[in-house]
Amino acid sequence: MWIFSPLMTTENAPTDPTYRLRAAASGREAIAPVREGVVYRDAETGEELEPVAAVLPQDGVGSALPRTPVNLRVCRRCEQLTPRDLATCEFCGLPAA
Ligand SMILES: [Zn+2]
């Protein structure tokens, strides 16, 4: 089960390393940039989320954001879901604005 918490949005671009976080009791998960010394909690249950795996760095091509609903927009030409942090649609190349 994936939780799309407001931990990461286009406003808080990832400068911190990104981790897969998990709540021990329920197994609910999220992907978010993690800063040392900060306690992360599930947006719905309030359980503490603990880092369980680091997300591999990307090759610098394409979106730096996790592919979650808050980070996607619908392209007005091809109607595909494309990352918000890219200047053009990743499918048809139409500029975002
Ligand atoms: Zn498109």
pLDDT tens figures, 1-55: 444 444 544 455 447 788 999 999 999 999 888 998 999 999 899 999 999 999 8
C-alpha torsion angle, residues 31, 80, 87, 54 (rounded to 10): 20
Separation of CA 78 and ligand 1 centre (Å): 4
Separation of CA 68 and ligand 1 centre (Å): 17
Ranges 2-11, 68-77, 85-94: which has the least confidence: 2-11
pTM of this prediction? 0.52
Residues by chain with Cβ below 5 Å of ion ligand 1? 75, 77-78, 89, 91-92, 94
- Asked whether the beta carbons of 48 and 71 are under 8 A apart, the reply is no
pLDDT, tens digit, 9 for 90 and up, residues 77-87: 999 999 999 99
Separation of CA 29 and ligand 1 centre (Å): 30
Q: What's the chain's Rg over C-alpha atoms? A: 15
Separation of CA 5 and ligand 1 centre (Å): 26
Separation of CA 80 and ligand 1 centre (Å): 6
